[in-house]
Structure 1
């Protein structure tokens, strides 16, 4: 069985939920429809003419890309201009385009973790915290003989995490009362007769992002026709998510040697370096995309060097004056997301027993030619 487009995106958003995105970021479905069967997904960094042709050859019905194809409101849709031609070709071949940008940057296991892993960084921390997950307490009343089924269903849905501890719950024994009225089909008891049942008050923690999934799992596992449960907002904060990563290198090295390692690890032909090539570096920050705004964050985090892209001239001068090193490896280092995201999607699709597959785009969308 092949997955519906909505099912494919639901699996993807378990990795990179939409609410992780920065304000006004252009993410989500930008063209086409997800209300169709998807046999193949093409994962790309950019959606260019060559990438669309590749999707056609691959017979992909959906492209999941990192960079948006629609950045600002359209004044017109002219098919005699490059953007209009691209949209026309996608529509004619019924190829949907879904964008995951800063939500994939921020996500655990997303682009910045991919880059940090490629560079061998350890002891990772966020470069800039941007999102703290809200938590809720879920309380449900369960007959004793079903408490384990309901508890495990909640844990499988992602409930029960407190920091680095999973499967957290609190359970109190008590007596539940109810009187089934006309039309009721009670699991225990009969219509018109007051019942007293030994029940467990089961409490656990649910991240707000998983609230709907956890409640659905709980209701499915619960034997009662009408389930008594409560959700309480909490002041306690959950996991913190952020842009970029900061970590230690496997061993201290020089800036020049590290620049060579960056070229090899991130598969780029050249890099621009700010700083003395002979200086020692032991702690590095990495940020996919344009990093000029985050140089001070990297300095504040105690990094010796920031690996990123699109550093402008004046930012480079400011960093040099402050004695801080930068390796500008280009915006295109985010291409690392193609293979890794396709692998993630194939794992998730296979786990659900879908025949739908994902492939990484083989098109190099680097816009610059290095001479």
Structure 2
């Protein structure tokens, strides 16, 4: 059994929900249709002519990419231009393209966590907040002998987290009353007769990101035909998601030693370095992609060094003056997302019994070379 395109993207959006993206980012389905069975998925950093050819040769019906092939608005679709020829190739081979960009960067367990893990950073925190999960208080009334089943369903769907504590709830015993009317099918009692039941009032915290799943799980586990529950917005701040990560190396090392660590971690032939070779670095900020705008964020976070791509000349000078070292492995360091995304998505599909194969692209889309 092969997964349909819509199903694959539902899993992908559990890893990288769309609302995690920064405003106006080009994400989601850009080319083709998801309304088909998918035998093979190709995971790519960029989508160019070589990647499109690779997908066609593999028989992949879907490319999940990090960088959008349609980033700047297309004024025309002339097939004798590079952009037009790429789109024509994708459409001719019925290959859909779905993009997960800053939502994958921001995601817990996504791009920036993968990069931080590759560098061996400990005690990681977000560099810049992008999204905070709103919290709700869910209150539901359950017959006493079904309370544990409903609690388990709530916790299993993601409710009940407070910081690093899970399965959090407050429970009060009480008596519920109800009168089943004509046409009802009551779990307790008979239509036309008012009933009393020993019930438990269960209160728990629900993040907005899993609110629908929690409600569905609760309704499925609850024995009543009509479930009495309330949902209240809370002022408490939920989990924060954002761009970049800040963490610490296991031990301090020189900037040049750290630069070698970066080269190994991201499998790049060279890095550009700002700062004295022998200076000691321990606290590290890392941000996938182009991070010129984040040197002050890194300095404010107390980082000794920022690892990011596309640093320009004047930004490098500014960082040097403020005492922030920089190691720039290039934008292409984000290629770490290819095997990581493929591994994550393949595991999810296998868990559900799907035979769809997820393959990381073998095409190196690095445009630069060093002589």
Normalised-by-shorter TM-score class: over 0.9
Aligned to 2:243: 243
Q: Give SS of 1:85's match.
A: helix
Q: How far is 1:306 from its partner?
A: 0.7
Matches within 5 A, 1:271-286: 271-286=271-286
Aligned to 1:193: 193
Aligned to 1:325: 325
Aligned to 2:51: 51
Q: How far is 1:54 from its partner?
A: 1.3
Q: How far is 1:342 from its partner?
A: 0.7
Q: How far is 1:176 from its partner?
A: 1.6
Aligned to 1:207: 207
Aligned to 2:357: 357
Aligned to 1:313: 313
TM-score (norm 2): 0.97
Greater shift in the superposed pair: 272-281 or 303-312 = 272-281
Partners of 2:39 and 2:209 in 1: CA distance: 28
> Unpaired runs of 5+ in structure 2?
none
TM-score (norm 1): 0.97
Partners of 1:129 and 1:137 in 2: CA distance: 24
Aligned to 1:40: 40
Q: How far is 1:235 from its partner?
A: 0.4
Q: Give SS of 2:63's match.
A: strand
Q: How far is 1:310 from its partner?
A: 0.2
Residues 214-264 of structure 1 show CA distances to partners (whole Å, capped at 9, x for unaligned) of: 111111111122111111110011111121111111221111111111111
Partners of 2:260 and 2:2 in 1: CA distance: 44
Partners of 2:151 and 2:329 in 1: CA distance: 48
Partners of 2:195 and 2:108 in 1: CA distance: 47
Aligned to 1:263: 263
Q: How far is 1:172 from its partner?
A: 1.2
Q: How far is 1:113 from its partner?
A: 0.8
Residues 313-358 of structure 1 show CA distances to partners (whole Å, capped at 9, x for unaligned) of: 1101111222221111100000001101111111111222222221
Partners of 2:74 and 2:196 in 1: CA distance: 63
Aligned to 1:106: 106
Aligned to 2:334: 334
Aligned to 1:231: 231
Q: How far is 1:60 from its partner?
A: 1.5
Q: How far is 1:73 from its partner?
A: 3.2
> Unpaired runs of 5+ in structure 1?
none
Q: How far is 1:203 from its partner?
A: 1.2
Partners of 1:47 and 1:64 in 2: CA distance: 9
Partners of 2:144 and 2:4 in 1: CA distance: 38
Partners of 1:69 and 1:189 in 2: CA distance: 61
Q: How far is 1:14 from its partner?
A: 1.4
Aligned to 1:173: 173
Aligned to 1:128: 128
Partners of 2:254 and 2:159 in 1: CA distance: 45
Aligned to 1:346: 346
Residues 127-152 of structure 1 show CA distances to partners (whole Å, capped at 9, x for unaligned) of: 11222111111111111222111111
* Number of residue pairs matched by the alignment: 371
Q: How far is 1:5 from its partner?
A: 1.6
Q: How far is 1:367 from its partner?
A: 1.1
Q: Give SS of 1:270's match.
A: coil
Q: Give SS of 1:14's match.
A: helix
